[in-house]
Structure 1
Amino acid sequence: MTEKSTEAKVEEAQTAALKLAQLSNDERSAALNAIADAITARQDEILEANERDVHKAEDLLAEGEYSQALVDRLKLSPSKLDSITEMVRSVASQDDPLGKTQIARKLDEDLELYKCTVPIGVIGTIFESRPDALIQIAALGLKSGNAVILKGGSEASHSNRILFDVIREATSDMPDGWSQLIEARADVDTLLEMDDSIDLLMPRGSSEFVGYIQDNTSIAVLGHTEGICHVYVDDAADLPMATDIAYDAKVQYPAVCNAVETLLVHESVAADFLPEIAQRYEEANVEMRGDDVSRSIVDMEQAQPDDWKREYGDLIIAIKIVDSLEAAIDHISTYSSKHTESIVTQDADRASRFMRSLDSASVFHNASTRFSDGYRYGLGAEVGISTGKIHARGPVGLEGLTTYQYYLEGDGQTVGTYAGRDAKQFTHEDFDGSWNPGSRFDW
């Protein structure tokens, strides 16, 4: 069988998107539950395919071509597949994001305007390393009525193929072509040129990669870039709490974008705090890289200027001592990727100043940066974490995959009636109501 061209796949996705948007929430949710069932039923096949990818990646790791973080992101396990199916069912159980009336406005008698949520259309996604991203993106696309073009990295090719096959078979009653898999790197450049067919691109990768996408397409891009996240331990912090948060933010899963990369500590608590967190880090094999003051308190490697702007994705953390809240804010403003920041303090005023002074997508008080996640936010899942400000930011769930249309319900009105000296006047009165086509009229 001849492989379809990228152009043909996108054309199929366009057609499917129009049909998918007309399906009921029950139909879309049932298809998602079918995907979850299929993942469970075919778990052995999925793990076998994933093992092939992991084995190859470990060989390249030994040769110095891949990082440990990439290999960790690549691995699937029975427990991880259980988490994936739970995520899919969580998306299925979310409220329908479509057809919500955001505005109901009476322009005049029997002339009513409604602003309602609708799918974006065709979404192209380009992601690396994590095969679970394919399931997340497909699940959110289906629930929100969007067709998806899925382009994963070659390092996860076997995993992506089996997962895509599972999705395709489980959703055979959905519009044909609503999900498409492309694999060749050259196909990415083809996607970038299809501005008349693809409505949104969502690349997940390094800043350089996302920048390349943005610079080479006229399609709207919602970028998921690196996570240079910070935890600041204030002089009013509960130090045992700060230790637990700083440990969790780095060690719980270091290979992901919401793991902390830089730990900032107020100078007045550094002598008490650093030995405790250093012991915890050492037990977890975390490499610490500190400034001169940090190294005078705890033995660690010397931090280099580039360490403050690095996403390690590994058991490495940079540590810096600051003399004030303002110094912590200045450091984060300089080096942050605008992903997630956290302050640990018992002083509510300082917490408020910290949170309102930073423009990262998520800013926390007394909590680990690892909470920055679509599932943990109650979004069901996420297609990525946007560090920009338009049109969605932070974990992008169902709401970030919708736009809106204006629907006007009239009864023969013409604009000429509202023009001229004796024209009728608009009322422009908002009211509580939802769009229900034709429900007001008895034809």
Structure 2
Amino acid sequence: MSLTESAAVDVARSASIASRQLATLSNDARNQALSALHQALDKNRATILAANAKDVEMATRAAADGTLSHSILKRLDLSRPGKYDDMLQGILSVRDLNDPVGNVTLRKLLDEGLTLERVSCPIGVLLIIFEARPEVIANIAALAIKSGNAAILKGGKESMESFVAIANVVSEAIASSQVPVPSIQLVRTRDVVSSLLAQDSLIDLVIPRGSNELVRFVKDNTKIPVLGHADGLCSAYVHSDAKIDIAVKVIVDSKTDYPAACNSLETLLVHESLLDSTLPVVAQALLDKGVSLRCDSASMDALMKALPADKRNNLSAATGADYETEFLDLVLAVKTVSRAEDAIAHINAHSSGHTDIIITESREAANCFMSSIDSAGVFWNASSRFADGMRYGFGTEVGISTNKIHSRGPVGLEGLTIYKYLIRGEGHGAADYHEGEAGRKYLHKSLPIDK
């Protein structure tokens, strides 16, 4: 990994050249690089965690004085139980997936001796701009190498010590393999990023990972296609027939397993018939976990009657803005609905298109909800926290996409490939195919795809 502050065009050009070389490497060669990457990061764990501790210390002070959000601080800490090991396992999981490059997904006989194939191939050069989350370097390096793409990475200033430490290790690991070193580059200055966003002739895809402000900035300042999501505004609807134990488990997990994640729950919609039964039980479980509830008038009245006095302090009246806010904290907006259709309408009007869930025993209600909600992930009786590349079996992910073209949801290897059409002929010419005497006819016969 090249720690460079060179001109943006030089960074982008070297990445473009490297991507062409990387695309020709065998799957074995790419896998060997990932094995080396895993070993190097494991061997240098202490050094990287020490660097990360410096970032966390500075970020803790910044969070205390209000110049850094607590959600970013939580995402920054690599010493959280299991986080470093998850990063290492993600590399191995990606390595062990099937090769995403060179897969034939369509084969046709256009005419005798003239065949058409659609074959998967790398996108080319990726520009990933992200905040906090130092493990992103390892995740994206693994996905980029495995999928044959070059990657240019820009991290936030709050985690620069971690980035530099990881970058040095990754650079050494890649240098020992057949993968060109410029395949993975880290840039550090803000000026370079602005210039990189202008390199639409050399960079093929931008993936922003971070705040709404970051994503908006990227989308407003580049002609390069952008893949990602601005918010993770996830909602859950508890239907009239929901089982209390399932509702409690799914909602508490969705909200409290990792509140700073983009797939954590932010809005709870409850059927009006459950205000005096299921809602107080769910609310009690959330309050016991330290969650503050911002309630509409109906849910507030019900909870003020049902909950003990010492729990009511964490209840407050919701505003309209609360139903469009990604809290990334132990805060949850609650709203009452009278019909499933109202819940669906609310989610489609306010959701960010990330992940939304329904809790019900009715297959009919679940199927209606799942087909009506316009989001990248729609779950039935399951936590929103399952919206994750690792949990989907993708190894890891470069991010969550709420786009409606190319790739949607957790973006893993498949989302980092595109396809090309290959035709093999024997001197065929398009002018030979026409109506009338001596004109040839297309066969357009589907051929089996060899596995």
Which interval holds the TM-score relative to the shorter structure?
Answer: over 0.9
Superposition deviation, residue 239 in structure 1: 1.0
Among 346, 356, 370, the alignment partner of 1:331 is 346
Q: Superposition RMSD on alpha carbons, in Å?
A: 1.5
Deviations 1:74-105 (A, max 9, x none): 00116211111111100001111000001111
Tell me the secondary structure at the aligned position of residue 256 of structure 1: coil
Q: Where does residue 440 of structure 1 map in the other structure?
A: none
Equivalences for residues 237-316 of structure 1 within 5 A: 237-298=242-303, 299=312, 300-316=315-331
Q: How has the CA–CA distance of structure 1 residues 421 and 180 changed in structure 2, closer, same or farther, with 3 Å as cutoff?
A: same
Superposition deviation, residue 322 in structure 1: 1.1
Q: Look up the equivalent residue of 1:11 and give its one-letter code.
A: R
Q: Look up the equivalent residue of 2:374 and give its one-letter code.
A: D
Tell me the secondary structure at the aligned position of residue 320 of structure 1: strand
Q: Where does residue 158 of structure 1 map in the other structure?
A: 161
Q: Where does residue 18 of structure 2 map in the other structure?
A: 16
Figure out how many residues of one structure are paired with residues of the other and give that number: 435
Query: What are structure 2's unaligned runs of at least 5 residues?
Result: 304-311
- The yes-or-no answer on 1:96 pairing with 2:106 is no
Tell me the secondary structure at the aligned position of residue 23 of structure 1: coil
Superposition deviation, residue 420 in structure 1: 5.4
Q: How has the CA–CA distance of structure 1 residues 2 and 285 changed in structure 2, closer, same or farther, with 3 Å as cutoff?
A: closer
Contact 2:233–2:352 (8 Å) recurs in 1 = yes
Contact 2:4–2:185 (8 Å) recurs in 1 = no
Q: Where does residue 386 of structure 1 map in the other structure?
A: 401
C-alpha separation in 2, matches of 1:103 and 1:13: 30
Superposition deviation, residue 257 in structure 1: 0.2
C-alpha separation in 1, matches of 2:211 and 2:42: 32
Superposition deviation, residue 414 in structure 1: 2.1
Q: Look up the equivalent residue of 1:314 and give its one-letter code.
A: D
Q: Where does residue 84 of structure 1 map in the other structure?
A: 87
Deviations 1:354-381 (A, max 9, x none): 1111110000000000000011111111
Among 404, 409, 418, the alignment partner of 2:424 is 409
Q: Look up the equivalent residue of 1:415 and give its one-letter code.
A: A
Tell me the secondary structure at the aligned position of residue 232 of structure 2: coil
Q: Look up the equivalent residue of 2:339 and give its one-letter code.
A: S
- The yes-or-no answer on 1:44 pairing with 2:60 is no
Q: Look up the equivalent residue of 1:141 and give its one-letter code.
A: A
Q: Where does residue 202 of structure 1 map in the other structure?
A: 207
Superposition deviation, residue 229 in structure 1: 0.1
Among 58, 71, 83, the alignment partner of 2:73 is 71
Q: Where does residue 441 of structure 1 map in the other structure?
A: none
C-alpha separation in 2, matches of 1:416 and 1:10: 41
Deviations 1:19-74 (A, max 9, x none): 10011111111211221111111110111010111101110111111121111000
Superposition deviation, residue 3 in structure 1: 4.6
C-alpha separation in 2, matches of 1:411 and 1:6: 44
Q: Where does residue 425 of structure 1 map in the other structure?
A: 441
Q: Where does residue 341 of structure 1 map in the other structure?
A: 356
Give the % identical residues.
43
Superposition deviation, residue 212 in structure 1: 2.3
Equivalences for residues 208-247 of structure 1 within 5 A: 208-247=213-252
Among 356, 376, 390, the alignment partner of 1:361 is 376
Superposition deviation, residue 278 in structure 1: 2.1
Contact 1:6–1:182 (8 Å) recurs in 2 = no
Query: What are structure 1's unaligned runs of at least 5 residues?
Result: 436-443
Q: Look up the equivalent residue of 2:50 and give its one-letter code.
A: E
C-alpha separation in 1, matches of 2:83 and 2:4: 34
